[in-house]
Amino acid sequence: MAKQSSVRQLAARAITRVTLGESLGSVLPQLQEKLSKKDQPLLAELSYGTLRYYHRLDAWLKFLTEKPLKEKEQDIHNLILVGLYQLFFTRIPPHAAIGETVQVTRTMGKAWARGLVNGILRNAQRRVEELHDLEERSPVCDWSHPKWLINTIKRAWPEDYQAILTGNNQPPPMTLRVNEQKIKPARYLKKLLDDCITAKQSKIAPQAITLVRPSAVDKLPMFHEGAASVQDESAQLAATLISAKPGDHILDACCAPGGKTCHLLELNPDITVDALDADSVRLERVAENLQRLGLTANVLCGDATDPDSWFPGKAYDHILLDAPCSATGVIRRHPDIKLLRKAEDIDALAQLQQKILKAIWPLLKPGGTLLYATCSIMPQENHLQIEQFLSETPDARLQSIDGPWGHDTGFGKQLFPGSGSSVNSGDGFFYSLMVKMDS
């Protein structure tokens, strides 16, 4: 079994690699392989939690030190952040949080930092009221988001920005998608309750069941038989917004990891789906998901902006474009986005989305529909994007989206992350539905 100090060392290493540009989703599995299964959840908790509150912890650390640590000592900087996270956001006893964190300096070969780490963490305990006063003086410290992102969200959604930023700092719920080809949602919910797994059905997504506490998938009834998959409630709306009928031919563009592809096939077993993505590695996940659920799709590796390189030639009745985006609607699931995403990325992504829209629109039959979806809350990627597309595409018409969810922007519906409302607890998503008119 790995020592607990090793867990903290690996957590600090995970934070450092994210600050250098890697995603936590790619880093964490590599580091977890170095630990026993028993220690892996603690590494995940320390890594996700420290990144979730990185900007607040960093502001605290600057307050507690007379001068910033040198660039070459970023590993010590991030180790202290992990220590602060344990002290103020976990139930780990303070003596253990400090002792184990200080011990890491030896295993890192930086015993000189032992006194420094110990002193800062103990000083933080003594000056807790001053640390909290910082939150009142600094929005970055208060919301634990970068300044550009706070300002952008505030400008875009002045009445909702506080709820959005608060939601971004909450751990996300675990939601299942029930495969109605195997079992009805109400019956699956009963199976969960019979297994002492408390859960509730969604009020907006018919196949969605949200667990009160996350569970290992191995403990879910009939999971390996394909009765359920893990998928956020908001993401599950996509397949329900496409009115497919038997025999329809559908393109799922930018489909990886394939959750929406599988949902479409679960709801409509007599359709054919071309599942397209440019990332061959992520397409392996699509194939795995299809296989586990016993579903079949035509998996295509190709660039959505260049249909000539992959389009099989048969026009589509419906297109689902799950466009590449800033992922600012799923920050609570991926807190590393706060560090990885930059302000200038938004315009670049909006241009790419526009290019994809224009490239795949000709592949849609007259009378067919295109559902545009992002997991973003940025207007440039969402309703402003659709407004521009409609103004430049004479044969495109907006269709209304009904349902007791989301904010109607006039060009589609916007869901905010973790609103905490009685209706929706899902991620931040945007949906817009367009129909192609006869030319």
- Alpha-carbon distance of 83 to 227, in angstroms, equals 41
Of the candidates 161, 200, 151, the one whose C-alpha atom is nearest the C-alpha of residue 178 is 200
**Which residues, 6+ apart, have CB-to-CB distance to 416 below 8 Å?**
157, 160, 163, 164, 167, 329, 377, 407, 428
**Are the CB atoms for 374 and 152 separated by under 8 Å?**
no
- Alpha-carbon distance of 348 to 398, in angstroms, equals 25
- Alpha-carbon distance of 310 to 59, in angstroms, equals 49
**Are the CB atoms for 332 and 172 separated by under 8 Å?**
yes
CA–chain centroid gap for 49, Å, is: 15
- Alpha-carbon distance of 91 to 346, in angstroms, equals 38
User: In this structure, are strands 413-415 and 407-408 parallel, antiparallel, or unpaired?
Assistant: antiparallel
Omega of the bond leading into 379 within 30 degrees of 0 (cis): no
- Alpha-carbon distance of 138 to 60, in angstroms, equals 11
Q: Is 375 a catalytic residue?
A: yes
Choosing from 254, 255, 325, 375, the catalytic residue is 375
**Are the CB atoms for 377 and 163 separated by under 8 Å?**
no
Residues annotated as catalytic (active site), given as ranges: 375
